[in-house]
Chains A and B, each alone.
Chain A
């Protein structure tokens, strides 16, 4: 996979004429940019804007580039920006293996083998046919992360991904996610209100109140 950076070029986000935020920055491959701010500051809307889900009451100016592709005019499914939410959101009607295979590009080879190998690494060997609902919270988040990686994103957007986890589990999963992102060389934007998340991300922090 080629290493690409995520560039937010003179991004200005408006909510009904009111300017919510201004950003002009570049996130290098493997870097995690943390965006903090109180609710209503537009931090989740920033992720929606990058991923392509802004509702009509918002307006976005500026450009978003991923490597040398301009993505802000593409439909969401062609942008290559993977989302990780607070809830793991495993498709409840699909088995664990079906969830993972569903995310793989059609051209992927040996899908089942890749699933089994990944589950083994996650400590979930033999879980292929399991109902997602029978997994613990931590296990679900692991599968969700693996599903995201299988979709071969070129950037990752994290929307408070750890806030639904217990404190002791949170640290472990946080490390797992951040290590995976760095290892894959993916630029990431982390939206959070938990200072510990920001500290663990160990990167630049943008506080939206200051902008």
Chain B
């Protein structure tokens, strides 16, 4: 039995640990690339200020092209995903489809980037599923056409894949923010003034919703402009986007290229910052234009384009993702499959029989890392939130006012720092983090990977758990205390059981995030920690399609298992308690 005193001590410590786990790797990591880039590097035995790394970076052939291949897909994918999500919400708001969509979006979001990218590759490649479906009847092709679709020099396929993954993310973020801004009332008022539904949404809901989506959009830009895994699978190679080239410099056996890699990593930060800056600039311009039209009084402004964009964008996104999953499944069981045939001649379990014995080790590693990371994050976040709850309440006359203020403060620090790891390009601080580990002679392994995963898992779990806590009626703790129930007992017997659905779903989110991480596992593990994700990426270079499909499906199945458990378990436990329905999402 936990005593109230133990709980209080743990509570006091938790926020600081949380801050350390969240921020230290990022800050140490950034310092760790800054120093080598200006000549201070232990690896290459240089200890003098020098701008040589920057000089060689800027004289690298095709650098400008690589930079463009980071900026344009980053900006374009975020913009298109944003337009699709907003137009879709504008056309469906207040309708019944939204609830149904909400349920469908969560599992699609759980589809890992790597698996989705492979699926899209199998779909769009000239010998892929879509071309098979139209061949030879429509297209007349008996052999795969000689088209460079995957790894196209303009990075269009890569951009497309990024959009597919960003739409569900932004949509879920928007759906989570809508209740707080009383979207339904706003819409009702505007519609009663004669505005069409999507116009009403655009003028009354969108302006309130947008601020809540700003940071998620910036996170999307940061990810899309620096992603390594999607770029390796779908992106151009001559030249490759800057992130991919930076990674190859870092992994080069020639250690002197490390300084070049560090400069590249910092350039990546500048690029992300500049891209976000461009977005903000565009934001200002567009809001001025819209402000003008808002006053025009036109009742159906933009209604038709919004409906068109929203519906088609949404249908394309979701059917592409679904098809990507379907093709992975077919491919994983495909026997002989000649080109123009739409489906394989036969189905086989052979790929699974061959791969499963090889899978177990990586599977065990993946689950070990994810479970450890998620549990650490969960305990720290819950204790931190408990601390905030108890500090919101002051015992009169005990002089705890000052204390309460300092406590509330780290809540502010944490909620601001949450987006730090999501806005900083992964590649930038993970290099520095690895270099720092080497310097401190900490051998890369499971522990260093868990520490790196915590940086990415904490923000998502914190956001979802904080939501769950906010959702709990403030009168429950009052009632319990007035019944003489101690805070520890209230926590264990009332809060945990009542919030079980939300808590499990945040665990599932953390598990899914950890499962999907590629670069943090690769770099923090020194290339020696093999998860399903890193192994699947290794196969991108030379594995057969069916082998890749097996691994990608396993990678995609893990988060689905997590979310399914989080969804079903509470319903099973509380199946005889109707009052608990309101606590299930």
Instruction: Point out residues on A near B: beta carbons under 8 Å.
Output: 48-49, 51-56, 59-60, 72-83, 85, 87, 89-93, 102-103, 105, 131-134, 147-148, 151-153, 157
Q: A92-B577, A151-B483 are in contact. Are A55 and B392 (CB under 8 A)?
A: yes
Grouping DSSP codes into helix (H, G, I), strand (E, B) and loop, the A interface class, with mixed when no group exceeds half, is loop
Query: Are the CB atoms of A131 and B486 closer together than 8 Å?
Result: no
B574 within 8 A of A: yes
Q: How far is the CA of A53 from the CA of B397 in the complex (A)?
A: 13
Query: Are the CB atoms of B483 and A103 closer together than 8 Å?
Result: yes
Chain B 566-585 against A: per-residue CB contact (8 Å), 1 yes, 0 no? 00000000101111101100
Q: A74 — nearest CB in chain B belongs to which residue? A: B395
Residues of B within 8 A of A60 (CB): 396-397
Q: How far is the CA of A197 from the CA of B487 in the complex (A)?
A: 33
List the count of A-B residue pairs having beta carbons below 8 Å apart. Answer: 110
Q: How far is the CA of A153 from the CA of B485 in the complex (A)?
A: 12
State which of A75, A76, A103 has its C-beta within 8 Å of the C-beta of B478. Answer: A76
* Between-chain CB contacts (< 8 Å), 9 pairs: A49-B396, A51-B482, A53-B393, A56-B405, A76-B481, A91-B494, A92-B578, A92-B582, A133-B579
Residues of B within 8 A of A87 (CB): 475
State which of B476, B487, B493, B498 has its C-beta within 8 Å of the C-beta of A102. Answer: B493
State which of A72, A74, A78, A89 has its C-beta within 8 Å of the C-beta of B475. Answer: A89
Residues of A within 8 A of B396 (CB): 49, 52, 54, 59-60, 72-73
Chain B 439-470 against A: per-residue CB contact (8 Å), 1 yes, 0 no? 00000000000000000000000000000000
B280 within 8 A of A: no
Query: Are the CB atoms of B394 and A56 closer together than 8 Å?
Result: yes
State which of A56, A79, A132, A148 has its C-beta within 8 Å of the C-beta of B579. Answer: A132
Chain B 373-405 against A: per-residue CB contact (8 Å), 1 yes, 0 no? 000000000000000000011111110010011
Query: Are the CB atoms of A77 and B481 closer together than 8 Å?
Result: yes
Residues of B within 8 A of A90 (CB): 579
B48 within 8 A of A: no
Beyond the given pairs A77-B486, A151-B483, 12 more chain A to chain B contacts, judged by CB atoms under 8 angstroms and listed by A's residue number, are: A52-B393, A55-B392, A56-B404, A56-B408, A75-B481, A83-B478, A89-B475, A91-B494, A91-B498, A93-B494, A132-B579, A133-B577
Closest 6 A/B residue pairs (Cβ): A92-B579, A76-B481, A133-B578, A133-B579, A83-B482, A151-B483
Residues of B within 8 A of A75 (CB): 395, 481, 487
Query: Are the CB atoms of A134 and B578 closer together than 8 Å?
Result: yes
Residues of A within 8 A of B484 (CB): 77-78, 80, 103, 105, 151-153
B497 within 8 A of A: yes
Residues of A within 8 A of B578 (CB): 92, 131, 133-134
State which of A80, A81, A91, A131 has its C-beta within 8 Å of the C-beta of B576. Answer: A131
